[in-house]
Chains A and B, each alone.
Chain A
Amino acid sequence: MKTGIIDYGGGNLRSVANALRSLGQDPVIIASPEQVGDVTHLLLPGQGEFGDTMRRLEERGLASFLKNWIGEDRPYFGICVGYQILFDNSEEAPEVCGLGVLPGTVRRFHDEPGLKIPHMGWNSAAGTRGDTRVWQGLGADPYFYYIHSYFPEPAAPDDIVARTTYGTQTFAGAVERGNLFACQFHPEKSQETGLRLIRNFLGI
């Protein structure tokens, strides 16, 4: 097993690399499909804008590569924007298409009195499918660190593995389908609970 982190030139990869190293991995940084080599488990971390992320992935030939990778059900872990780009499109950049490997769209929180946007801090994610391979041993309502203004709305409810509530709005905090796992929160910033999730992924 060998891990790779997708580098689309926009985000800071160091936190995810540090988390993987603490789990005994020596991740390969991948800026083009040629660099994938014998990597078995891909992670795409991201803090960034949806449209900008898709454009950068396309420029590097990584968008179609990722579609194939996920289409072949090879292990993929998407974080934040790495989660959002799996869907068809986003309100953040309506003119840009996502990878479209999961049906659905990405929406912005709607305004509510007293609700701060971005959604920033530790929030619980209620598991909806019990213990899956990646979502195992986390307890009923594990807390993770979030920082975002947009979230995916999957069209296939079976993909959803955890739900998160902010204000009166409940969204899909994480999805799991085959060997694909993706979440809106940052496991690399969520202490032991987050590391556990990543370790579970490395075990698939």
Chain B
Amino acid sequence: MLAKRIIPCLDVTDGRVVKGVNFVDLIDAGDPVECAIAYNLQQADELVFLDITASSDNRNTMVDVVRRTAEKCFIPLTVGGGIRSVENMREMLLAGADKVGVNTSAVTNPSLVDAGAKAFGSQCIVVAIDAKREGPGKWGVYTHGGRKPVGLDAVEWAKEVWRRGAGEILLTSMDSDGTQAGYDIELTAAVSSAIGIPVIASGGAGNLDHMVDVLDAGKADAVLAASIFHFKKHTIAEAKQHFAERGVPVRPYV
């Protein structure tokens, strides 16, 4: 049976992890490659690197981080942040990323999704959507960290990028993000039910039951989380055990 995936996300700027990662067993908790190796050992199902400054100078640093990570970690790796062209995508994929994430650049230039899918296959293209509740059962798409509304309905936008060839949606609830009060289950279920590609739920994980809820009631295919794992509140193995106890299919820890 297909397992639900657990995906730690590392925010990176200038080649360093930001927001902090507090693994006691790391020599340098700011080095994204070391953090990635630690999660690989914990048997995370995938990894996401998010380049949060994403200037063009920074991209070369990121390419190097991706290359060094891919030499050590044999799990799928997604890289997002600052990817604005097919050429940017190619750079990351050639360095060893398995998928690339686009967010603002897809909103400003939706044909980038088509072009990426055509050049590398849909399975490589993850569209990240930042959504904010605007009314009952209605969410708008935002960019710039949730500050700028772009006038799109989140469910409709997800359908459009699916049609354009996206292989997966990384869906962040701006209302829940950072609250540790749980994912937005209603939003996740609305998007997941509307499209035929997997949805990664993001934003709001405070405990393991939050993850189970969004995978179950929220119909998500994967959960993304940062601080809950970075600060060792829980390990990946604990999460998997908890999921299994609650009947969520997981890849067993081996």
Contact of B74 among A47, A49, A124, A190 (CB under 8 A): A190
Q: Which residues of B contact A47 (CB under 8 A)?
A: 121, 123-124
- Dominant secondary structure of chain B at its interface with chain A: loop
Q: Which residues of A contact B98 (CB under 8 A)?
A: 15, 189
Whether the pair B254, A124 counts as a contact (CB closer than 8 A) is no
A20 to nearest B CB, angstroms?
A: 11
Stretch at the interface among B1-9, B134-142, B204-212: B1-9
Contact of A121 among B70, B93, B121, B198 (CB under 8 A): B198
Q: Which residues of A contact B198 (CB under 8 A)?
A: 116, 120-121
Whether the pair B3, A122 counts as a contact (CB closer than 8 A) is yes
Q: A122 to B118: give the CA distance in the assembly, Å.
A: 25
Q: A193 to B197: give the CA distance in the assembly, Å.
A: 26
Interface residues on A, range: 20 to 34
- Dominant secondary structure of chain A at its interface with chain B: mixed
Q: Which residues of B contact A75 (CB under 8 A)?
A: none
Q: A118 to B198: give the CA distance in the assembly, Å.
A: 8
Q: A115 to B176: give the CA distance in the assembly, Å.
A: 27
> Which residues of B (123-154) have their CB < 8 Å from a CB of A?
123-124
Residue of chain A at shortest CB distance from B90: A12
Q: Which residues of B contact A123 (CB under 8 A)?
A: 1-3
Which residue, of B40, B72, B74, has the highest number of chain A Cβ atoms within 10 A? B74
> Residue-by-residue, is A155-180 near B (CB-CB < 8 Å gives 1, otherwise 0)?
00000000001100000000000000
A194 contacts the other chain (CB 8 A): yes
Q: A109 to B122: give the CA distance in the assembly, Å.
A: 16
Q: Which residues of B contact A18 (CB under 8 A)?
A: 70-71, 74, 96
A21 contacts the other chain (CB 8 A): yes
Q: Which residues of B contact A143 (CB under 8 A)?
A: 3, 251-252, 254
Whether the pair B168, A191 counts as a contact (CB closer than 8 A) is no
Whether the pair B96, A15 counts as a contact (CB closer than 8 A) is yes
B11 contacts the other chain (CB 8 A): no
Residue of chain B at shortest CB distance from A111: B196
Residue of chain A at shortest CB distance from B199: A116
Q: A186 to B196: give the CA distance in the assembly, Å.
A: 22
B167 contacts the other chain (CB 8 A): yes
Whether the pair A19, B74 counts as a contact (CB closer than 8 A) is yes
Contact of B5 among A49, A122, A190 (CB under 8 A): A122
> Which residues of B (71-115) have their CB < 8 Å from a CB of A?
71-72, 74-76, 93-96, 98
Task: Given A14-B94, A121-B3, A121-B198, output 13 extra A-B contacts at Cβ < 8 Å.
Answer: A18-B71, A18-B96, A21-B71, A22-B71, A47-B123, A116-B197, A120-B123, A120-B221, A121-B2, A122-B3, A165-B1, A189-B74, A190-B75
A-B contact pairs, 15 of them (CB 8 A): A14-B70, A15-B70, A19-B74, A22-B71, A116-B221, A118-B123, A120-B198, A122-B3, A122-B251, A124-B1, A143-B252, A145-B76, A189-B74, A189-B76, A191-B74
A: which residues have CB within 8 A of B?
A: 12, 14-15, 18-19, 21-22, 47-49, 116-124, 139, 143, 145, 147-148, 165-166, 188-195
